[in-house]
């Protein structure tokens, strides 16, 4: 039986995936290495310095079967706008995509979604959309020789729930809000805002079109 590694962008449901695996009894860590694998958006980069968990230099990559989980761009990009500075610093210091130093958070979230997913797709052996997580990862499990049935996986997903690392569970305490008011404001805005494709196209038409076309291709791939 091999280990699994699930890649993606930030805010793509990786914590939820890790929890679902643990419900089944498999030790798959979220941004930490577990006995049976790891789920981490940081591993899309080959960087030796990652903000959370191990880098590929600390892992034996040949032990893993790699999958990619993609979250629908509107919801994911909206959530990415609440990323903190340490995340943006890490992303900008990699060679994946090109963030604008003085660009808006929305533009950089759009760029991260596209460039990180493109690189993850190159690295992964299997790709699925978060919307189809009930069936998408089954090929990954089979390739790793995990004796997981579809009913077992669906049951684990339902027991894990869907609010893992969601904006509702990441609300700051009053102390955190006091010492990090910028983050508190961004999260409140995220919880209220309704991002749309029109907003993405208004921000950067060419980039939004790239995102749309890539997302359409991913959905077709996910459905065979």
Tens digit of each residue's pLDDT (9 = 90 or more) over 136-167? 999 999 999 999 999 999 999 999 986 544 44
In the prediction, which pLDDT does 64 show?
A: 98
Interval 79-136: pLDDT, tens: 999 999 999 999 999 989 888 877 799 999 999 999 999 999 999 999 999 999 999 9
Q: What integer pLDDT is reported at residue 140 of this predicted model?
A: 98
Of the CA atoms within 13 Å of residue 76, those in its CB half-sphere come to 26
Task: Judge contact between 171 and 188, C-beta under 8 A.
Answer: no
Give the per-residue pLDDT at 189. Answer: 52
Range of the domain at 25: 3-222
Give the integer Cα–Cα distance in Å for 209 and 16.
Answer: 29
The pLDDT assigned to 103 comes to 78
CA-CA-CA-CA dihedral for 135, 132, 64, 9, to nearest 10: -170
Give CA separation, 52 vs 32, 47, 55, 69, in Å. Answer: 8, 12, 9, 19
Total number of domains in the chain: 1
CATH number of the domain at 36, please.
3.40.50
- The answer to whether 67 and 41 are in contact (CB under 8 A) is no
Look at residue 168 and tell me whether its pLDDT is greater than 80: no
Please give the model's pTM, rounded to 2 decimal places: 0.85
Report the candidate in 78, 59, 74 with the shortest Cα–Cα distance to residue 190.
78
* Token pair in block for residue 177: 């809000």
Model confidence at 213: pLDDT above 70: yes
Residue recorded with tokens 């961004």: 186
């Amino acid at each position: 039986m091999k280990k699994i590694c699930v890649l993606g962008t930030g805010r793509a449901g990786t914590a939820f995936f890790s929890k679902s695996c643990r419900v089944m009894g498999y030790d798959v860590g979220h941004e930490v290495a577990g006995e049976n694998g790891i789920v981490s958006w940081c591993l899309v980069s080959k960087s030796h310095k990652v903000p959370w968990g191990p880098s590929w230099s600390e892992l034996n990559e040949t032990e893993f079967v790699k999958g990619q989980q993609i979250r629908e761009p509107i919801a994911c990009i909206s959530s990415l706008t609440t990323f903190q500075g340490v995340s943006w610093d890490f992303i900008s210091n990699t060679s994946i995509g090109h963030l604008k130093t003085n660009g808006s958070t929305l533009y950089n979230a759009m760029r991260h979604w596209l460039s990180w997913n493109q690189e993850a797709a190159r690295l992964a052996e299997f790709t699925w959309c978060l919307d189809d997580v009930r069936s998408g990862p089954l090929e990954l499990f089979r390739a790793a020789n995990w004796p997981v049935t579809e009913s077992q996986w669906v049951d684990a997903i339902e027991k894990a729930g869907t609010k893992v690392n969601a904006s509702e569970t990441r609300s700051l305490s009053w102390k955190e809000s006091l010492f990090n008011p910028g983050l508190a404001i961004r999260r409140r805005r995220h919880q209220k805002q309704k991002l749309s494709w029109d907003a993405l196209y208004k921000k950067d038409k060419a980039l939004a079109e790239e995102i749309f076309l890539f997302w359409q291709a991913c959905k077709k791939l996910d459905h065979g």
